[in-house]
Amino acid sequence: NIEIPTRLVLYKNNPRVDFSFWPINVLYEIIENRILPESYKNGYKVLLDKDKVTDNIMLPDYDGFIITQPTEDELLTTIHNFWFEACSVAKYLKRDRLWFAKILENGPIKGFMLQIILWNESSKSGWNNNKIHSQGKNLETQVDIDVKESFKKCFSKYDKSDTWDSLFGMIELFKRLAYELTMKMKVKYPNDSIFEIEKYIRQLYER
């Protein structure tokens, strides 16, 4: 692990350009090991190479950022983490601490939900899907229409009632996709513990 100096530059009337400065020994290692960094697997262009070092670099295979199958532990940890954060959002909403509830709603819990969506989509192509991108950049064009429609229920404005609605929207979508994924992977779905957590969240909402 080495620190790569990077500058992200915005040009007037032009797109953003990201500059990173890699030590030359990294290039030699790439050539010797015949392994491209993930960000170069989907394509690159050599603009100038006076020493012709890059003549020996491997060509891109366009399989970068593939979403691989999680282990059973990774899947269950993501499921439990989602429900922990969902419970936290509910508690802060109940305490009228909306700002902090929104931080959790738009941060950690969305991350766990995105992970389940990515895994679920990749599982449909035999865990060989890089079109959706590991950070979800192409999410809207890759997921099923019903999943995309569900996104509308997962976001809210700065309002307590609206945030409760988005929380339940996320719960509804996450439950469905997580259950489908555990069935595909033949992993025991933690139904009992999730039932208790969801019941507690509903109780907080109804009090």
Dist CA 59 CA 48 (whole Å): 16
Residue 1 has pLDDT above 70, yes or no: no
Residue 52, helix vs strand vs coil = coil
**Domain layout of the chain by residue ranges:** 6-56, 72-206
Dist CA 157 CA 6 (whole Å): 34
What is the topology classification, in CATH, of domain 72-206? Four Helix Bundle (Hemerythrin (Met), subunit A) (1.20.120)
Dist CA 205 CA 196 (whole Å): 14
- For the segment 41-84, what is each residue's pLDDT rounded down to a tens digit? 888 999 999 999 999 999 988 887 888 899 999 999 999 999 99
pTM of the model: 0.83
Dist CA 149 CA 71 (whole Å): 29
Position with higher pLDDT, 15 vs 70: 70
128 is written with which tokens?
């060989």
